[in-house]
Amino acid sequence: MSAGPPRDNLRGGAWLIADIGLNVWALSIVKALGADYPAAQIVFLRAATGLVLIAPLIWRQRAAFAGLADPWLHLLRVGLSAMTLTASFFAISRVPLALFTAMNFTRPLVVMVLAALVLGEAIGRRRWIAAGIALAGVAVAVGPVPSGSLPGLSALALVVLSGSAAVIVTRRLRAAPEIVLMTFYTAGLAALAAPVAAAAWSPVAPAHWLPLVAVGLFAQSAQVCFLRAHFFGEAGVLSVLSYLSLVVSVTVGWAVFGEVPGRPFWIGAALVLGAALWGTAGARPPRMPAR
């Protein structure tokens, strides 16, 4: 399996920022509608929409599936991703958007540890310090955990564990063609969610079809951005940069759901943003050679 091109953290970071924006909008729709439908049903609709979108690409690039390497890693990634997405959709409708995002910020720390242990990536002192500062900023921004959030928080704990493991598996599959990664992910989600969704299916209101389809559109586009980010960037750099999604998600929570952040949030958000910028500054590797 090829090691792939040299890292380009600046390019990877740009793709990650696009991924953050698309995912926040997809989760906002799920937050608005998720309490009305089972999580598995929304996962299935998201995956089915994504599969329709990428079907022409699958056909045009079908040669990429010849001689598929590491099939078990692909299946492991699908299983972990299905677990993560279902738990995410369950949790987002039961906890505030800011809390949902803040809890997810434990994932980069888990990913960094796994990247060092499993992938042998060097995580310098500067990035560890930046991650610690950002995590402290998250604690300040969120404040006391609201009561009655145990089911959502339990689901978020599962998201942290399975999501971090899925990222590491994705990085082990870095040399695989993107169309292969997207097809396994999207088709696998649809296949795993279909029987559960069918058993618990709730009729979809006519006005909800368009936003639910939009979830699939946004999420599928975000997956492309995510894959490109991890294709170019190092796990440590991307993990710290992902803290920027706290600012984005709370802004959307305020504008869309009326969740008005107080002074502690702004202090914490400043710590998060400063840590993300400081942790990624000076981390650019040599430029990729021309092809």
Q: pLDDT (tens digit, 9 = 90+) per residue, 72-114?
A: 899 999 999 999 999 999 998 888 887 788 777 777 667 777 7
- Band (pLDDT 50/70/90 cuts) for residue 5 is low
Contact between 93 and 34 under an 8 Å Cβ cutoff? The reply is: yes
Q: Is the pTM of this model over 0.85?
A: no
Residue 60 has pLDDT above 60, yes or no: yes
Which stretch of 6-10, 63-67, 224-228, 248-252 has the lowest confidence by average pLDDT? 6-10
DSSP summary character for residue 21: H
- For the chain, the first-to-last Cα distance in angstroms comes to 20
Q: Quote the CA–CA distance of 187 and 13 in Å, as a whole number.
A: 27
Calculate the alpha carbon distances from 169 to 36, 44, 189, 243 in Å. 33, 22, 16, 21
pLDDT at 284: 46
Q: Write down the mean pLDDT value for the chain.
A: 82
> Cα–chain-centroid distance for residue 168?
13
Residue 291 has pLDDT above 80, yes or no: no
Q: pLDDT per residue over 177-227, tens digit each? A: 888 988 998 999 999 999 999 999 999 999 999 999 999 999 888 878 988
Q: pLDDT per residue over 31-47, tens digit each? A: 988 778 999 999 999 99
Q: What percent of the chain has pLDDT over 70?
A: 89
Instruction: Please count the other Cβ atoms lying within 10 Å of the Cβ belonging to residue 145.
Output: 12
Place of tokens 């390019």: 11
pLDDT at 288: 34
